[in-house]
Amino acid sequence: MTANFWLNKKILITGGRGFLGRHLVGRLRDEYKVPVKNIRIPDIGTSDLRVLENCRKAVKGADVVIHLAANVGGIGYNREHPGELFYDNAIMGIQLMEAARHAGVKKYVAIGTVCAYPKFTPVPFKEDDIWDGYPEETNAPYGLAKKMQLVQSQSYRAQYGFNSIFLLPVNLYGPGDNFNPKSSHVIPALIKKFVEAEKKNEKRVTVWGTGKVSREFLYVEDAARGILLASERYGKSDPVNLGAGREIKIKDLVLLIKDLAGFKGKVIWDRTQPDGQPRRMLDTRRAQKEFGFKAVMSFEEGLKRTILWYKSISV
């Protein structure tokens, strides 16, 4: 690791108190020994990044900006809030990068999303395929808003020499995830359903869709490590995937979480609810080649840790 990269750097991490942000800040403190005073996290209550002046204040004096802050949720949340998801994520990203450029920030790390890929991207998703179609409809507003950071990043590097990079993480999971059923993603939503059903001795759990679609998931600690490696070692315009390089059908995911949570009842599939994108799995070779990142957490072990964490806070 190139710990010297972080030496004496002033680091702004938007969304630093969120799910991924807490893990990333912890790794900076514990592994890289970055002093707490050198890490700045905007307060969501007083520093709304949809306001340009707040972006200017946030980036002032920063050497490195890692933009994690996002309005984000699962399929249901995307379906109910498409306008908010587009506006909030687009305006935050555009204004923050512009403010960072004017402030002379030395490295800007924009975090995109797998939702930016076209609905029918060939599997595994290669970074060069990102413009070959329209995203899956339920999460297109969010995915396109985040993808504008790629356009901005490439444009600013071309015109201003601004050192910004764009990363495309797949869906994350792990301890500290969002378990709110109104906005959570599939893994925390399933964990909550099965753990609560097992506690209450219920006989059945209903899950969305057909179970035929597939997804890829990246453990949050792996994601934090990948982002920091890219921050240190990567400095090109090309987007880079961050993933585990493995795919699982939702049906198999449901049965795995059911077993790990100890639920003995029946699974009911609500086929009136959407499946989302047909398949998702990233080609992860560019990240390994460019900055030496490869996911290390096994999927089953990651799920066990997440389930244990959730049980510990839901006693």
Annotated catalytic sites, by residue?
142
The distance from CA 272 to its chain's CA centroid, rounded to whole angstroms, is 27
Contact yes or no for 188/171 (Cβ under 8 A):
no
39: β partners: 11
Six token digits for residue 275: 């499946």
Reduced to 3 states (helix: H, G, I; strand: E, B; else coil), residue 270 is: strand
Q: How far apart are CA 292 and CA 286, in angstroms?
A: 9
Contact yes or no for 288/242 (Cβ under 8 A):
no
Q: How far apart are CA 235 and CA 268, in angstroms?
A: 48
Q: Which residues contact 53 (CB under 8 A, 6 or more apart)?
A: none
Radius of gyration of the chain (CA): 19
270: β partners: 208
Six token digits for residue 114: 């797998």
Q: How far apart are CA 290 and CA 98, in angstroms?
A: 26
Contact yes or no for 205/258 (Cβ under 8 A):
yes
Q: Which residues contact 111 (CB under 8 A, 6 or more apart)?
A: 66, 67, 68, 70, 146, 167, 169, 227
Amino acid identity, position 166? F
